[in-house]
């Protein structure tokens, strides 16, 4: 499925179990809020950052959507951990990435492990679990890449 601007996203999300990698990051955090307001069955936030998970849990505590959201600490680099989080998922939104260009230039192998091998783990788990849809969030830097971040996305 290719998502477009004019789609009825509510009908796509309605009653579904959604997992969001990088759900505590800059893009993922907003995605969690938007999707949670649409009527999913549940939203699982998969993130390796315990502190951001704690903060997000506290920020959402008084909101109605908090009952739909659960948190899993894990890293997309760890296939077994990710696979265990994908049980009964209908849709995976993949927003986890190393995306700060200066950091990725300093540590390109870490970007390969997260952005390439992590994405591979997501695809493997999705196929093994028969997840219906996987949506990968990317960047304009992946088009005609000139740096390590673009090349790994």
**CA 124, 33, 3, 11 torsion-angle sign:** positive
Annotated active-site residue in 68, 99, 141, 153: 141
Q: Which helix (H) or strand (E) holds 133?
A: strand 133-136
Burial string for 87-96 (b: 16+ CB within 10 Å, else e) reads eebbbbbbbb
**Best CA proximity match to 152, nearest among 113, 102, 94, 103:** 113
What's 13-67 look like in SS3? HCCCEEEEECCCCHHHHHHHHHHHCCCCCEEEEEECCHHHHHHHHHHHCCCHHHH
68 flagged as catalytic: no
Catalytic residues: 141
């Amino acid at each position: 499925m290719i998502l477009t601007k004019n789609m009825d996203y509510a009908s796509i999300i309605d009653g579904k179990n959604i997992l969001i990698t990088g759900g505590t990051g800059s893009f993922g955090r907003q995605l969690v809020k938007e999707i949670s307001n649409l009527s999913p069955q549940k939203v699982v936030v998969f993130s390796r950052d315990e502190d951001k998970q704690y903060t997000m849990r506290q920020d959402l505590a008084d909101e109605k959507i908090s009952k739909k959201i659960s948190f899993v600490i894990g890293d997309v680099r760890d296939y077994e951990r990710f696979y265990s989080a994908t049980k009964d998922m209908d849709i995976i939104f993949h927003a986890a990435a190393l995306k700060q260009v200066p950091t990725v230039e300093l540590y390109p192998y870490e970007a390969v492990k997260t952005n390439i091998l992590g994405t591979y783990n997501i695809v493997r788990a999705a196929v093994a679990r028969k997840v219906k849809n996987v949506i990968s969030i990317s960047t304009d830097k992946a088009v005609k890449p000139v740096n390590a971040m673009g090349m790994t996305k």
